[in-house]
């Protein structure tokens, strides 16, 4: 065992708390931010972009981060991303121009894309077999725990002032100190060929089913981000619901998500990847139906908790599915593109939902999405039974 193994694993897991829900830290403050900039045209849209813009830049820059991970090494990409996370994330605490804050959110997205890609790639490098499944499950659990702690804390801070939740991003500097001590550059094989973006030689190394995993990831996280994007506005219309209660409601999803993520390795031993995604969609569909028919704060929170049962397995399953397919030589690159799909799904979530809202209502749109989830769950189950996912071998390090 390498020195500092416990600290190294803690660094990767605690670093995961900074990733998926990074944009949503300020979610409870969105209504207050909208009111603070109400003198500007489209203030509500601009406030929503503060939440979703990081996802767009994560999507755009994650493949570049993956390329750098494969060509120049894992450690320095991780270190740089943690510094940029703190610098860019805190801009909303002191800048008064919303357009400059939006620029800071764009740089935050770059940092998260690099950070998330580095962490998933390092887990793939450091661990194999069942241990890889276990650590990947823990990674998803810590990502969910980060949402629980940071979003609820963001709600408390937003009740004091809308700027204060932005200070949470400085936590990355603590993770940086841990990483400097414990993270080492893993032994790896660099891709053959010229030092350039992957061309035909490397594309031939990519299993075709990887692209289906990318499609599943895009759709899954577009559905996932409905809660942090839409719920603050649904909850703020309920009588007596403060920013703190909004933050607690959204963060409550992570209570059940953490439990499921910690048990992911156990579930994985019994079910294959497509079956787990079907189970995810069934649970989220049930939660969305409850949200769609709810007329009280308590019932909405119950629906969010049910959704968490599904979302707790989603991140670990998608990541491990891809890592097990990816050849080690281009693992960072393929993980980068996976993160592009994940965060494009988050960015486009409100855009894709808008036609449903216009045709019906925000409540009914959750029920319609639940119906779509049930259909796709059935298709995934059918595709596995027909052998679609078994037509090619996955990597030898599969769990």
* Predicted confidence pLDDT, tens digits, the chain (399 residues): 567 888 999 999 999 999 877 877 888 888 888 888 888 888 878 887 888 788 888 888 888 888 888 887 888 999 999 999 999 999 999 998 999 999 999 999 999 989 988 999 899 888 888 898 899 999 988 988 887 788 888 888 988 999 999 999 999 999 999 999 999 888 765 554 444 444 445 556 677 889 999 999 999 999 988 888 788 878 878 888 887 788 788 888 888 988 999 899 999 999 999 999 999 999 999 999 999 999 899 999 999 999 999 999 998 999 999 988 888 778 888 888 998 998 888 878 888 887 887 888 888 999 999 999 999 999 999 998 888 887 544 444 445
Q: Which one-letter DSSP state was computed for residue 399?
A: -
Distance, in Å, from the CA atom of 330 to the CA atom of 66, rounded to the nearest integer, reads 8
173: Cβ–Cβ under 8 A, 6 or more apart, which residues? 82, 83, 86
User: pTM of the entire structure?
Assistant: 0.78
Distance, in Å, from the CA atom of 275 to the CA atom of 333, rounded to the nearest integer, reads 26
Q: Is CATH 1.20.1250.20 correct for 5-184+204-388?
A: yes
Among 326, 340, 119, 65, CA closest to 202: 326
Radius of gyration of the chain (CA): 20
């Amino acid at each position: 065992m390498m020195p500092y193994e416990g600290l190294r694993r803690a660094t990767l897991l605690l670093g995961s708390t900074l990733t998926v829900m990074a944009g949503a830290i300020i979610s409870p403050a969105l209504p207050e931010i909208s009111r603070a900039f109400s003198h500007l045209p489209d203030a509500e849209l601009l406030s929503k972009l503060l939440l979703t813009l990081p996802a767009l830049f994560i999507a755009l820059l994650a493949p570049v981060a993956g390329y750098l991970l494969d060509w120049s090494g894992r450690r320095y990409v991780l270190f740089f991303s943690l510094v940029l996370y703190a610098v860019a994330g805190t801009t909303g605490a002191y800048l008064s121009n919303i357009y400059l804050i939006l620029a800071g959110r764009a740089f935050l997205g770059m940092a998260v894309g690099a950070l998330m890609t580095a962490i998933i790639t390092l887990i793939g490098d450091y661990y194999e077999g069942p241990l890889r499944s276990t650590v990947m499950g823990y990674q998803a659990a810590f990502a969910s725990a980060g949402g629980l702690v940071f979003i609820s804390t963001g709600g408390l801070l937003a009740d004091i002032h809308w700027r204060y939740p932005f200070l949470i991003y400085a936590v990355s500097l603590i993770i940086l100190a841990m990483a400097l001590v414990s993270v080492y550059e893993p032994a790896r094989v660099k891709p053959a060929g010229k030092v350039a973006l992957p061309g035909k030689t490397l594309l031939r190394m990519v299993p075709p089913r990887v692209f289906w995993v990318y499609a599943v990831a895009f759709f899954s996280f577009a559905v996932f981000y409905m809660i942090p994007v839409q719920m603050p506005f649904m909850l703020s219309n309920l009588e007596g619901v403060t920013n703190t209660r909004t933050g607690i409601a959204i963060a409550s999803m992570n209570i059940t998500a953490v439990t499921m993520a910690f048990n992911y390795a156990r579930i994985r031993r019994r079910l294959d990847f497509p079956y787990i995604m079907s189970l995810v969609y069934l649970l989220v569909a049930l939660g969305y139906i409850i949200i769609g028919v709810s007329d009280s704060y308590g019932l909405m929170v119950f629906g969010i908790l049910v959704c968490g049962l599904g979302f707790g397995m989603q991140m670990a399953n998608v990541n491990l599915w891809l890592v097990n397919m990816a050849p080690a030589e281009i693992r960072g690159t393929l993980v980068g593109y996976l993160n592009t799909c994940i965060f494009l799904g988050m960015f486009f979530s409100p855009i894709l939902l808008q036609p449903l809202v216009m045709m019906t209502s925000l409540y009914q749109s959750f029920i319609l999405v639940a119906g779509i989830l049930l259909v796709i769950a059935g298709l995934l189950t059918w595709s596995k039974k027909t052998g679609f996912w078994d037509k090619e071998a996955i990597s030898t390090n599969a769990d």
